[in-house]
Structure 1
Amino acid sequence: MTPDYALLARQLEALFDSRDWLTNSAQTCAFIMQEVPELNWAGFYLQREPELLSLGPFQGKPACNPIPFTKGVCGAAARTQQTQRIDDVHAVADHIACDVASRSELVVPIMTRDRLWGVLDLDSPRHARFDTTDQAGIEDLVAVFMASTDLD
């Protein structure tokens, strides 16, 4: 069942009572993990050094850290600054397997003032979990996060 992403966007916006990036990123990944079915990981990777993503707030099993832009689905999203929607992560040659139960992945880059701030990474144990509706809905949730958060 596809979530009502318009409703989720309004609920996420109402959840924010601060513009602090740490608070809002923690709330965002907890909210997504709670409200979007069939996920086994939801979290942020932040660009704190050139060409490298560092683990930020997340929900799920312990995660891989750091992730170079040259590796995996998160690295591809950071490198291309384009959302990556992968039906079968095991078919991706340089996939980084933090949790072997993950089968599909959706990674949305977060841009501020023409620079990469980080990415939102969602993993699912179900093959082909994410469709175009999920991609648009999660991109909308990222837009709510960005509009409600000081990313400097």
Structure 2
Amino acid sequence: MFKLDALSKMTTEEKYKYMLILVEGQCSSEKDALANLSNASAIIKSCMDKLNWAGFYFMRSGELVLGPFQGLPACNRIAVGKGVCGTAAAERKIQRIANVHDFPGHIACDSASNSEIVLPIVKDNVVYGVLDLDSPELNRFTELEEQYLAKFVDKLNKYINWDEL
């Protein structure tokens, strides 16, 4: 059982530390990758404020395909190198975008999104997909989110067999 009522009394960084504890507990006690990633997106959405979307895209036949997420329906497929997600996958670099409307080629799945952070999921030098978070607020994501989300992806890489998906 997930205990989330304590979140309201936590600082932002305490919430992010708790988010890592929750994902570690989830993934260490369950072997099914899809179940873990579904809960991982819910953990992020529960622990991080001011999000309208949190989820995954997985690499399939050279393009990103929608995976588990929390939020409104999203784009089913994104070409590698296109939009923020495709750029993160192509460059294997975190993309932290203060204003998505200024990002050349931004793909708007939800018109309410104004900022975005995307982390490539790379394990053993293979890109398996991306973790994508959107916010209706401009400049929502800082180095703090980048730091904790990178740790979050590291936790997933510890437990997830990406070839299973």
Band of TM-score, shorter chain: over 0.9
Task: Work out whether residues 55 and 69 of structure 2, in 8 Å CA contact, stay in contact via their aligned partners in 1.
Answer: yes
| Matched residue, 1:35 | 47
| Matched residue, 1:75 | 86
Q: Structure 1, unaligned stretches of length 5 or more?
A: none
TM-score w.r.t. length of structure 1: 0.95
Q: Structure 2, unaligned stretches of length 5 or more?
A: 1-10
Of residues 60, 83, 91, the one that matches 1:48 is: 60
Q: How many residues align?
A: 151
One-letter amino acid matched to 1:28: A
TM-score w.r.t. length of structure 2: 0.87
**Segments of 4+ in structure 1 off by > 4 A?**
none
Q: Identical aligned pairs, as a percentage?
A: 42
Of residues 148, 151, 161, the one that matches 1:137 is: 148
Secondary structure at the counterpart of residue 73 of structure 2:
coil
| Matched residue, 1:99 | 110
Which structure has the larger Rg over C-alpha atoms?
2
* 16-25 or 122-131, larger mean C-alpha shift: 16-25
One-letter amino acid matched to 1:35: C
Whole-angstrom distance in 2 between the partners of 1:77 and 1:38? 22
One-letter amino acid matched to 2:100: V
Matched, 1:2 2:12: yes
> What CA RMSD, in Å, does the superposition of the two structures yield over aligned residues?
1.1
Work out which structure has the larger RCO, using CA pairs closer than 8 Å and 6 or more positions apart in sequence.
Answer: 1
The structure in which a higher percent of residues are helix is: 2
